[in-house]
Chain A
Amino acid sequence: MSHSKKSGPVRVSRRTFLSGTALSALGAAGLPLLTKGALAQTPADEILSGCHWGVFRARTEDGRAVEFTPWEEDPWPSPQLPGVLDSIYSPSRIKYPMVRRAWLENGPGADVAGRGTGDFVRVTWNEALELVARELVRVREETGPTSIYGGSYGWKSPGRFHNCQTLLRRLLKLNGGFTSSSGDYSTGAAQVILPYVVGSIEVYEQCTTWPNVAENTELMVFWGANPVNNSQISWQVADHGFAKMEAFRDAGGEVICIDPVRTETCDYFDGEWLAPRPQTDVAMMLGIAHTLYTEGLHDQEFLDRYTAGFDRFLPYLTGESDGVPKTAEWASAICGVPTETIEDLARRFASKRTMLALGYSTQRQHHGEQIHWMLITLASMLGQIGLPGGGYGLSYHYSSGGAPTHNSPTLPAITDTPGQPPAGGAAWLSAEGNATIPVSRFVETLLNPGKVIDFNGTKITLPEIKLAYWVGGNPFSHHQNRNEMVRAWQKLDTFIVHDFQWTATARHADIVLPATTSYERNDIEQVGDYALSHIVPMKKIIDPVFEARSDFDIFTGIAEQLGLGYEYTEGRTEMDWIRGFYEAAKLESRAKGMEMPIFDVFWDSNKPLAFPVTDEEQNFVRHASFRDDPLLNALGTASGKIEIYSTNIEKFGYDDCPPHPTWMEPIERLGGPTTTYPLHIASNHPIARLHSQLCGTELRESYAIAGREPCWMNPQDAAARGLVDGDLVRAFNDRGQILAGVMITDVIRPGVIRINEGGWYDPADPREAGSLCRYGDVNTLTVGISTSKLAQGNCGQTAMVEVEKFVGTPPEVDVFSALDG
């Protein structure tokens, strides 16, 4: 029927019908969606705030963020910043509290294999908070507080107040306790072994500053270190102080990059690229050390005065103890770098003021503890530790390590213990809880309750976990061996998640609570993990979207359900807490001879508050004071010296972590004696996102190939497989299979492919074990074993695979919401 035929006068019956009286029978009986009275227009504004990618200004129009621009004093703005705005307004925002239908209808533990299939029920906030509170109490009462896992880990947003992981533990403590985690995924092996070697964790401590390097270093060696890429971001608000390395480049300093991939850092410095086989760094270092020793290039005086145990390491180096001299030739056979190159490195290192900058990925592998230990041994043999521009640096790798530290006060943060004064320090390294497990052992814990494992000289009985609560993290990205993890997750009765986007982790939850981004709440933070150059007001840019609530508000709501609302908040609002942190810093600042403005002036200034840098900090040299006086400034080791042989570790008797740096075959590696798959995966940090953050944004269009995570491949390997640029491929091993898009490039050595970590997990069938990941989550392929009994760190860089062209109709990627799919 045409409209012209129908468009006559409205019949009475129709008019009656359309009056609405009848329509109420069809369900339109609710309140009118619109009410009388318009909302006032919000004036346009420019609001200063900060995030992992730096300080920025947000332009808003009528309450809507329309543009983020880097702060004008940012020396090296990250190209990832536009993705941040995209994430706030992502179509995959979690809009409402959700409960998995099976869990809601049949209770905790129902149809656990159905997690990830997307069958959720929208509930009200009241319903959600009540469900969570009731479940926390149930699990605590039925199986004890250690059955609740609150070791939630990941790259939460910065901010001293809205630290969701601390806020979670604060709630769980009020509920009677929980199982916590210790350590992290970035440097799990290094941060445990280094206190035995140099007396502190080092990896998050200031190294010799870039200005000092620029002035004094003749040879800079980036060993698996890639600051140009990884300093785009910081744990706090990024300062991008790594820009100061420009002076070293301009001074014409010599640079060697040792890495299976020619990194962005190597490009920046136009450095010399050496590409050993992955996971063979210890062997290569031993070959260099052997050359130093046999050619008399080592600094025996330094070894005698500042180190302990070189004499016990030496028989291993020379082969006296095991019959295998660790010669350059021996090392070459393992690492693939020519013998003469290894020997030449030893001579070059010894003849110049050399700085050895070691990255984190080198220790995220089987026996990863050995790498940092061996590098420090090598640096000790060179004898330049504590000299300007010489020695080693373990924190250049990321977050602008080496940017001079400013003379700023400590900015306190909320603690996980109600009533406890705000504190500084590394919250993620705290091991508070009724039980604590090494952070990468959560899957092992789920699969093996009651099992006793070794850890750093202790025995840990793995608790039985019934409920896991995750905030500010994405374990379905950062944990290894995804399929093992999916199976392990089925042991949980309940999995609760706060997030703002439908990540794989949120999809696998039983209860999903929509959290605000840090741009929808107020907070305060320092700029630069090492620089600490400013305090920045992280001002709220927009009101919370949809029904998102801040983690603090969510936990307060749960605490109120438990009758502990006041205990949780201590009667203080968001701004009360922020003001309190600032006032404490102001007091400390006064003690340092500086006067910070009153809080309101600071908050309304719309700019970061700057602190000066002293000449001493500008030219800081790692371990200079130790070198000056090793007795007065002894290291925190058992001997007070650098320990090349650790009697403490010897006492543990671990078969996978001997008492001195040792080459041990990893479970699988390129060219390994028992390895079956032919290609090693470099699961590096992404170039255009922060781990998995921003994967669900427009930035993905800048790097995805065939709609998937890129797979860099050397032309030789591509030719051997008949692959061309842009091909869709399947990467697989015995642990799993993923799709990826091939990019053929000679910036990666043969035998190695690069698939960055952080691609969103997208199983074709969440119910099927080993299901194909359609987008390219590399941790579907990596091993889930630990580095060793000492550190129990993760081995995210240990994975061998085969790659083949994908044949057939490619399955569509489902995990992202986008206009074009």
Chain B
Amino acid sequence: MNVATLNDAQLKPYARLAEWIGEIFLAPPSAETVERMVAGSGRTLLGDVGEILNCRDAARQMEATLLAAVGQDLSARYVRLFDGVSGRRTVSLYESFYCGNGSRLFQTPVEEMRKILRRLDMSVRAGCHEPPDHLSIELAALAAALDKGDDDTALALQNRMEAWIPQMRARLDAQDQDGFYSSAAVVVTCLLNEIGAARSASSL
């Protein structure tokens, strides 16, 4: 498939969902964000995400963990899982960790992602100091590709994420069984699946 044959209506709508789920993995949630997600409308929408992406259990689990969260539990959970302080139990959100040179960060995937961002004529916003192979940025790039109707790039991004996210999810499942973030990672996988399915339908 190429840009010319892409059915925008099939794929573009997933861009916002990619941005949204990506942002969840970008930083510990603020109290306001948690509050918004826990509110009735937020929970309804979470249910809708589960329906649309065919990941009802994961969405329900996200909702359940949100409701059970006290104070800054979710923020603390994020830090423990992703910010390196937990050593071996840290779950890396960087592609380089899984597909680079040992467990080093900033490896070839960073370079490849920089090229992709250039192709999209995009860059990471000022103030964000994450490398471009961070899960959130790869999802944001996917969203940008979908927005631009650049399905070659979207497909490339999808393929690369499908290559490393399973390893990330395995680590996450081990540390956050049925937790908010392991459930959110299921949503990521379902999103990629759903985009793939929509692409297949579009190409028929």
Contacts and interface: CB of A to CB of B under 8 A. Distances in A.
Interface residues of B, number: 83
A817 B130 contact: no
B123 A37 contact: yes
B166 interface: no
A122 B75 contact: yes
Contacts of B48: 17, 22
B17 interface: yes
Interface in A1-60: 1, 3-4, 6-10, 14-15, 17-20, 22-23, 25-39, 41
A820 B103 CA distance: 8
Contact of A20 (B16, B26, B201): B16
B45 A10 contact: no
Nearest to B96: A89
A23 B84 contact: no
B23 A814 contact: no
A815 B46 contact: no
A36 B85 contact: no
A698 interface: yes
B98 interface: yes
A146 B107 CA distance: 46
Interface in B1-39: 9-10, 13-17, 19-20, 22-24, 26-29, 33-34, 36-37, 39
B163 interface: no
Interface stretch (A90-98, A299-307, A432-440, A641-649): A90-98
B13 A18 contact: yes
Interface string B42-54: 1001101100101
A366 interface: no
A120 interface: yes
Interface in A757-811: 762
B20 A23 contact: yes
Nearest to B136: A33
A819 interface: yes
Nearest to A16: B13
Contacts of B90: 91-92, 817
A817 B92 contact: yes
A507 interface: yes
B197 A6 contact: yes
B176 interface: no
Contacts of A507: 85
Contacts of B136: 33
B84 A95 contact: yes
Contacts of A101: 72, 76
Contacts of B121: 36-38
Interface string A264-305: 000000000000000000000000000000000000000000
B188 interface: no
A10 B126 CA distance: 34
Contacts of A20: 15-16, 19-20
B58 interface: no
B85 A502 contact: yes
Nearest to A94: B84
Given A92-B84, A817-B84, A818-B103, A38 B193 contact: no
B154 interface: no
B113 to A, nearest CB: 10
A817 B86 CA distance: 8
A19 B137 contact: no
A588 B126 CA distance: 44
Contacts of A28: 16, 19-20, 23
Interface-central residue, A17, A18, A30, A698, by most chain B CB under 10 Å: A18
A35 B19 CA distance: 13
A545 B106 contact: yes
B52 A814 contact: no
A61 interface: yes
Given A26-B37, A91-B84, A14 B194 contact: no
B76 A33 contact: no
A363 to B, nearest CB: 35
Contacts of B143: 34
Nearest to A13: B48
B87 A502 contact: yes
A25 to B, nearest CB: 5
A121 interface: yes
Contact of A92 (B87, B124, B193): B87
B125 to A, nearest CB: 5
Interface in B64-110: 72, 75-76, 78-80, 83-90, 92, 94, 96-98, 102-107, 110
B45 A17 contact: yes
A7 B200 contact: yes
Given A10-B10, A18-B17, A62-B111, A546 B129 contact: yes
Nearest to A760: B87
B20 A90 contact: no
Contact of A33 (B15, B54, B103, B124): B124
Interface string A110-139: 000000001111100000000000000000
A19 B48 CA distance: 13
Contact of A817 (B54, B78, B87, B107): B87
A34 B42 contact: no
A22 B45 CA distance: 7
Interface in A327-357: none
B195 to A, nearest CB: 10
Given A25-B36, A120-B83, A817-B103, A33 B88 contact: no
B123 A35 contact: yes
Contacts of A62: 111, 114
B83 A39 contact: no
Contacts of A819: 97-98, 102-103
A821 B114 contact: no
B140 A33 contact: yes
Contact of B42 (A14, A25, A33, A86): A25
B172 interface: no
A516 to B, nearest CB: 12
A812 interface: yes
A27 B37 contact: yes
A30 B87 contact: no
B124 A34 contact: yes
B102 A36 contact: no
A64 interface: yes
A626 interface: no
A122 to B, nearest CB: 5
Interface-central residue, B52, B106, B121, by most chain A CB under 10 Å: B106
B156 interface: no
A4 B45 CA distance: 24
Contacts of A31: 125
B104 A119 contact: no
A155 interface: no
Nearest to B117: A38
B114 A98 contact: no
Nearest to A698: B102
Interface-central residue, B80, B85, B106, by most chain A CB under 10 Å: B85
13 contacts: A3-B54, A9-B9, A17-B52, A18-B14, A20-B15, A23-B19, A25-B45, A36-B122, A64-B111, A122-B78, A122-B83, A502-B87, A818-B102
* 8 cross-chain pairs, A with B, having the tightest CB-CB distances, nearest first: A20-B16, A18-B13, A3-B197, A28-B20, A7-B201, A819-B103, A33-B140, A7-B197
Interface of A: 1, 3-4, 6-10, 14-15, 17-20, 22-23, 25-39, 41, 61-62, 64-65, 85-86, 88-96, 98, 101, 118-122, 502, 507, 544-547, 698, 762, 812-821
Interface of B: 9-10, 13-17, 19-20, 22-24, 26-29, 33-34, 36-37, 39, 41-42, 45-46, 48-49, 52, 54, 72, 75-76, 78-80, 83-90, 92, 94, 96-98, 102-107, 110-111, 114, 117-118, 120-126, 128-131, 136-137, 140-141, 143-144, 193-194, 196-198, 200-201
Given A10-B10, A33-B136, A89-B105, 14 more contacts: A17-B48, A19-B13, A34-B141, A34-B143, A37-B122, A86-B104, A89-B104, A91-B105, A95-B129, A118-B86, A121-B28, A121-B72, A121-B79, A698-B104
